[in-house]
């Protein structure tokens, strides 16, 4: 494992890498399902390579564990598809800012997995976050089929799926190592979506498109998530939660610079409220544990 002085730089590097996801999703001329399946397939080979180098076993403890972990993979795949679709039909900013409602959703759902009661403050924070999401859609809410409101709705669904995956993983599969979890989950995603890939469209990808797909699978999915897992194991959870809120901010800047996507004022204001609540609730939750 890395020396302690490198732990924080590793987290910042992970956040930087993961912030580039939206750029590649927009640059690769494929539908969300095809991108997620191919990304997962490439990431599976990358993670397998890492596991082999570390001389770690691919095997899980029992059949029950395999079933559970692969069901988690289905949640992860559905999360990625809805997240990518959200960015494709709207903007990177709308997609990632709405998905970052997941910390609040996780906190609201966690009492279903524990004996702890939901606090009044959490309910208030949830209402504030909902207000932020409503501000994001702004006047687009009157036209329910508008790209912003559709992007937010798909983003919230993605956040819900991600929250369920986090909670099941934390309370049902805590004993499984992080790298094994990620490997088997991306394998599950690749298998689940294999029948739904637009293969004729994939066959028309240019060399640059293939390079972008490879970077998304190896550099971002396998590399970025592996670095993030290392950070989670070595740094306080509250620090990771706060610094992770840099991801949507960086993603918005990258989308503006590389894709010329300039978010509107309502998206920035509403997204800022969502991020503020996410950061506050994450830190407050960790301090109360």
14: nearest Cα among 156, 227, 178, 211: 227
Provide the pLDDT for residue 234.
74
Cα–Cα distance between 289 and 285 in angstroms, integer? 6
- Which of 215, 221, 183 minimizes the C-alpha distance to 80? 221
Using CA atoms, how far apart are residues 231 and 186, in angstroms rounded to an integer?
20
Q: Give pLDDT, residue 1.
A: 46
The alpha helices in the chain, defined as continuous H runs, are: 7-18, 21-27, 32-53, 63-89, 92-99, 102-109, 120-137, 147-172, 178-193, 199-202, 207-214, 225-234, 237-244, 246-259, 265-288
The pTM (predicted TM-score) of the whole model is 0.87
Pull the structure tokens for residue 46: 């990358």
Question: Which pair of tokens denotes residue 103?
Answer: 């910390």
**Is 106:277 a contact under the CB 8 Å cutoff?**
no
CA dihedral 251, 253, 258, 264 (to 10 degrees): 100
Q: For each of the chain's 289 residues, which pLDDT tens digit applies?
A: 455 677 788 888 999 999 999 999 999 999 999 999 999 999 999 889 888 888 888 888 889 999 999 999 999 999 999 999 999 999 999 999 999 888 788 888 888 888 778 778 878 888 888 888 888 877 665 556 778 889 999 999 999 998 898 888 878 887 777 778 889 999 999 999 999 999 999 999 999 999 999 999 998 988 887 788 777 667 766 667 677 788 888 999 999 999 999 888 888 898 888 888 877 766 665 555 4
Cβ-contact 40, 189 below 8 angstroms: yes
* Residue 4: per-residue pLDDT: 64
- Cα separation, 282 vs 242, whole angstroms: 7
Q: Quick check: 66 and 60 in contact, CB under 8 A?
A: yes
The number of C-alpha atoms within 13 Å of 228 and in the hemisphere containing its C-beta is 19
pLDDT reported for residue 278? 79
Residue whose pair of structure tokens reads 């599950």 in the numeric block = 188
b/e string for 230-265 if b means 16 or more Cβ within 10 A?
bbbebbeebebbbbbbbbbbbbbebbeeeeebebbe
């Amino acid at each position: 494992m890395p020396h302690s002085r490198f732990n924080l730089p590793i987290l910042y590097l992970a956040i930087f890498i993961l912030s580039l996801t939206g750029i590649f999703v927009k640059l690769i001329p494929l539908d969300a399902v095809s991108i997620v399946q191919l990304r997962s397939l490439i990431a599976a080979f990358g993670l397998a390579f890492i596991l082999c180098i570390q001389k770690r076993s691919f095997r899980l403890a029992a059949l029950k564990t395999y079933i559970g972990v692969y069901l988690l993979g289905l949640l992860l795949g559905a999360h990625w598809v809805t997240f990518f679709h959200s960015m494709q039909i709207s903007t990177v900013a709308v997609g990632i800012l709405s998905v970052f409602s997941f910390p609040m959703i996780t906190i609201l759902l966690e009492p279903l997995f524990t004996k702890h009661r939901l606090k009044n403050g959490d309910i208030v924070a949830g209402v504030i976050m909902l207000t932020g999401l409503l501000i994001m859609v702004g006047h687009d809410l009157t036209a329910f089929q508008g790209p912003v409101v559709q992007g937010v709705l798909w983003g919230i669904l993605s956040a819900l799926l991600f929250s369920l995956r986090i909670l099941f993983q934390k309370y049902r599969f805590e004993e499984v190592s992080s790298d094994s979890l990620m490997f088997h989950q991306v394998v599950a995603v690749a298998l689940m979506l294999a029948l739904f890939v637009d293969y004729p469209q994939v066959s028309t990808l240019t060399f640059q498109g293939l390079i972008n797909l490879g970077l998304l699978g190896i550099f971002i999915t396998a590399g970025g998530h592996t670095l993030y897992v290392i950070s989670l194991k070595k740094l306080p959870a509250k620090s990771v939660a706060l610094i992770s809120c840099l991801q949507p901010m960086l993603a918005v800047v990258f989308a503006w610079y590389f894709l010329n996507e300039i978010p509107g004022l309502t998206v920035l204001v509403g997204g800022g409220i969502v991020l503020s609540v996410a950061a506050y609730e994450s830190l407050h939750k960790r301090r109360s544990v």
